[in-house]
Structure 1
Amino acid sequence: MIRLLLLAIVLVGGLIVGTTFADQQGYVLISVANTTIEMSLTTLVLFIGALIAGLFLLEMIVKRILSVSNYTRGWFSARHLRKARYNTFKGMIKLHEGEWKEAERLITKGGRHNDFPLLNYLAAAEAAQGRQQIDLRDKYLQLASEQDDSTLAVALTSAKLQMRQKQYELALATLQFVKVDYPRNPVLLELLKECYLALNEWQALKNIIHPLSKANLITDQQALELEEKAECGLMAVIATNKGTAGLLEHWDALPKKLKKHIPILICLIQQLQIRKADSEAYIILRDNLKKRADDRLVALLPTLNLADYHPVTVLLESMADYDVRNPVIQSTLAQLYMRTQKWQPAREHFEAALAIREDMSDYAYLARVLDKQNRKQAAADLSRKALTMVDDKG
């Protein structure tokens, strides 16, 4: 608009000047080197006006050409983007269908003109691993890491793929790299849990149980089971490295809440038995059984290798008097009498246990006791009954 106004002013001015000085045109002389140009003042004014108009016209033509070029370029750009999205979409479908090679081809092709190629690189890494091309997988992950705001997504994807390849140490290093900045990320916590379980990193597993619970990633029951599993694993490590003394020291230092967990107590007893510390195991069992008669603890008593079983027998007799209908106590007491070759009381307690509930092991034990008492036929009958129960289970 301003240019048109300026051109109009020049033309009008030229007409006014031309009309005013029509009788007195004068002249203008331009001399450049050996060339001279002479013209009237009116002609000069009209020439300048025409020159300005020509420049304006040239500008309009250039702009029109450039706008057509931009439109063409935009059309091609939009076409490439649509094609990239289509290839990405088809590639993702192939990825979920397990057609790794075709998925990788389409996804990488779609990433060339995609506005945000991060997802393409991550998906291509998964496809490459599906073809067992681990080096190529890592190349795609590297390309993904070069994109903006990609740190967490690349780390989580890398760890998932590494764990599928059983590369747990590598996955753990990958996760720990981002754990400082994203300590509450739910996917990160889940992957850390799986890594710790696979690598027997029991103390580290114990440390994330509370964050897992707080993020509602595990139930209270699952948290309890993880706590027990981690503590049992930790006990095994301590027993291996520090022996019986170190194991008992660790047990003494445990919170009372954990000491009440039967599975943890059973793990302690089993670790003590492995290290031939059956006497120490019995003392712990005895003290706990006096507080609560748990069948799981009672069943451990016959597995102990003790020099004298009399205290154990006395303990169980008192428990049997208190809970005469408990088949586990009756069976355990019978097994202890078997170990000391007291066949008659062993028989009586096995029969008492079987009168309460049928049990294949107790039938087999009772058959052995009857054989020791020279009741061969009765022993054979019970052995057949035990075998029948095995077949029925099968």
Structure 2
Amino acid sequence: MKKLIFYIILIALLFAAILFGHHAIGEKGRIFIAMGDLRIQMTVVSAGIVLLASSIGVIIIGWLLVKLARMLTGSRNWFGSLSRRKQQKAFHEAINACAIGDYESAQKAISKTFPGEFGGSNYILAADIDRKVNNGNNLENLLSIAETFEASAVSAKAQQAAHFVQQHQFDKAKEVLEGIDTKAQNQAVIARLWLSVLAALGQWDEVKERLKLHKKVLGDDYVVWAQQATQGEFAEIASKHGANALRQKWEELPRAAKKDIANQIVFIQLLIDQGLSKDAEPILVDLAKKSQHSAFHSLFKQLKHPSPFAAMRLIESWIKADPENAKLYSVLAHLAYNSGDSELAEKAVRKALELASDPDDGRLLARLLEQQNAFEKANNVYKGLLTS
């Protein structure tokens, strides 16, 4: 409002200068202007005053034209600081409404801030609100506007990529991430988005390259992603080229990678999934001897081939060292059952259930009883499982 009054005063001074400027200074150095019947004469100094006032007038007219254009194009910033204060108030109202989960009120408030001088932050917030209120129906439009502001371009693209990931549109997400400038690519949030997209697309070589580039910013997540990359690569090799190629890839791994238990479990699991239980047994036994990790238990239970003597001897040696460990009896029971030794399986599973109740062991006992045609006893076991 103060600026508007100031401009009005300047306009008044302009007209005053034009009409009376030639009277303001003495008569030295006259300038004569003749337009039809109109005759104007003034000194050089008064002519300078008129020119200065005219320049100010041009500025004021330009300001008025800008305000008129904003009004016609739908801008709410018609009256300078007065409108900006209202927009800032609406922006803060939207933030406060989001904080208490009142997203409908937040949406109404944030809509009053457009276009606003917030560097695109209001569009970023509006997109987040739209995701919660309208399932992101207008999200892409809001983020595309936010991208036009330098301050919010990276945030807008990151949100858009995350939205595409949630929608399982991984190719679109990758396209958006490729549009982010080089400097911002090393931000942790962008690096994680890249890894998520590339992993979903099965592009494990690119995942490994990204891990090398962003090891520092990923922190503890680096190890998790490195393991996942190896696991994904193993799975892809197994599905496309079979077990021989998988074994060759395992042999080519660095020693540190072979010592990683996550990689060991994935490798053995994939061999079992390929129907190579007999090939998996010696590898599993060798690794389990070096590290008696409980994570190997489920792998032993999945071995399914005749006479897994090496695996049985190892489990029995563990049981001798720890005779009250129900999990070890459970492993031996499942291993014996899968190899066709029902007698050993029943003895081991009964001992396991004696030490600790476990639904999987209960179901195994029921199956063994059914094989003996002891259906009533089997039904009692099943009833016990339902009750527990």
- Using the TM superposition, give the Cα deviation of residue 137 of structure 1 relative to its aligned residue in structure 2, in angstroms: 5.0
CA distance in 2, matches of 1:307, 1:76: 87
- Using the TM superposition, give the Cα deviation of residue 94 of structure 1 relative to its aligned residue in structure 2, in angstroms: 7.0
Q: Which residue of 2 aligns with 1:365?
A: 364
> Please, what is the CA RMSD of the aligned residues?
4.5
Kindly tell me: are residues 61 and 172 of structure 1, through their superposed partners in 2, closer, same or farther at Cα, counting changes over 3 Å? Answer: closer
Q: Secondary structure of the residue that 2:242 maps to in structure 1?
A: helix
- Using the TM superposition, give the Cα deviation of residue 339 of structure 1 relative to its aligned residue in structure 2, in angstroms: 4.5
CA distance in 2, matches of 1:62, 1:342: 108
Q: How does 1:103-118 map to 2 (within 5 A)?
A: 105-107=111-113, 110-111=114-115, 114-116=116-118, 118=120
Structure 2 residue identity aligned to 1:328: K
User: Which deviations, in whole Å up to 9, do the C-alpha atoms of 1:129-165 show, x marking residues without a partner?
Assistant: 664686x654554444444455424422432343444
Say whether 1:328 aligns with 2:327.
Answer: yes
Q: Which residue of 2 aligns with 1:174?
A: 176
Q: Which residue of 1 aligns with 2:242?
A: 243
- Using the TM superposition, give the Cα deviation of residue 248 of structure 1 relative to its aligned residue in structure 2, in angstroms: 1.0
Structure with max Cα Rg: 1
Gaps of 5+ in 1: 12-49
Q: Which residue of 2 aligns with 1:388?
A: 384
Q: Which residue of 1 aligns with 2:190?
A: 188
Q: Secondary structure of the residue that 1:297 maps to in structure 2?
A: helix
Q: Secondary structure of the residue that 2:121 maps to in structure 1?
A: helix
Q: Secondary structure of the residue that 1:276 maps to in structure 2?
A: coil
- Using the TM superposition, give the Cα deviation of residue 323 of structure 1 relative to its aligned residue in structure 2, in angstroms: 4.0
Structure 2 residue identity aligned to 1:173: E
- Using the TM superposition, give the Cα deviation of residue 239 of structure 1 relative to its aligned residue in structure 2, in angstroms: 0.9
Q: Secondary structure of the residue that 2:80 maps to in structure 1?
A: helix
Contact 1:343-1:369 at 8 Å conserved across structures: yes
From 95, 103, 110, the equivalent of 1:98 is 103
How many percent identity over aligned positions? Answer: 22
CA distance in 1, matches of 2:286, 2:365: 30
Kindly tell me: are residues 368 and 87 of structure 1, through their superposed partners in 2, closer, same or farther at Cα, counting changes over 3 Å? Answer: closer
Kindly tell me: are residues 326 and 177 of structure 1, through their superposed partners in 2, closer, same or farther at Cα, counting changes over 3 Å? Answer: same
Say whether 1:82 aligns with 2:85.
Answer: yes
From 155, 158, 167, the equivalent of 1:156 is 158
Q: Secondary structure of the residue that 1:272 maps to in structure 2?
A: helix
Q: Which residue of 2 aligns with 1:41?
A: none
- Using the TM superposition, give the Cα deviation of residue 173 of structure 1 relative to its aligned residue in structure 2, in angstroms: 1.8
CA distance in 2, matches of 1:340, 1:190: 44
- Using the TM superposition, give the Cα deviation of residue 244 of structure 1 relative to its aligned residue in structure 2, in angstroms: 1.0
- Using the TM superposition, give the Cα deviation of residue 293 of structure 1 relative to its aligned residue in structure 2, in angstroms: 2.7
Q: Which residue of 2 aligns with 1:291?
A: 290
CA distance in 1, matches of 2:300, 2:177: 44
Contact 1:313-1:336 at 8 Å conserved across structures: yes
Give TM-score, length-normalised by structure 2.
0.67
Kindly tell me: are residues 55 and 199 of structure 1, through their superposed partners in 2, closer, same or farther at Cα, counting changes over 3 Å? Answer: same
Structure 1 residue identity aligned to 2:284: L
From 25, 37, 43, the equivalent of 1:52 is 43
Structure 1 residue identity aligned to 2:103: G
Q: Which residue of 1 aligns with 2:266?
A: 267
Give TM-score, length-normalised by structure 1.
0.66
Q: Secondary structure of the residue that 1:246 maps to in structure 2?
A: helix
Contact 2:238-2:245 at 8 Å conserved across structures: yes
Q: Which residue of 1 aligns with 2:275?
A: 276
Q: Which residue of 2 aligns with 1:352?
A: 351
- Using the TM superposition, give the Cα deviation of residue 264 of structure 1 relative to its aligned residue in structure 2, in angstroms: 2.7
Give the aligned length.
Answer: 341
Contact 1:90-1:106 at 8 Å conserved across structures: no
Contact 2:359-2:385 at 8 Å conserved across structures: yes
CA distance in 2, matches of 1:148, 1:371: 71
Kindly tell me: are residues 287 and 118 of structure 1, through their superposed partners in 2, closer, same or farther at Cα, counting changes over 3 Å? Answer: same
CA distance in 2, matches of 1:364, 1:137: 50
Q: Which residue of 1 aligns with 2:33?
A: none
Q: Which residue of 2 aligns with 1:254?
A: 253
Kindly tell me: are residues 317 and 177 of structure 1, through their superposed partners in 2, closer, same or farther at Cα, counting changes over 3 Å? Answer: same
- Using the TM superposition, give the Cα deviation of residue 235 of structure 1 relative to its aligned residue in structure 2, in angstroms: 1.4
Kindly tell me: are residues 90 and 368 of structure 1, through their superposed partners in 2, closer, same or farther at Cα, counting changes over 3 Å? Answer: closer
Kindly tell me: are residues 117 and 184 of structure 1, through their superposed partners in 2, closer, same or farther at Cα, counting changes over 3 Å? Answer: closer
Structure 1 residue identity aligned to 2:384: T
Contact 2:128-2:139 at 8 Å conserved across structures: yes
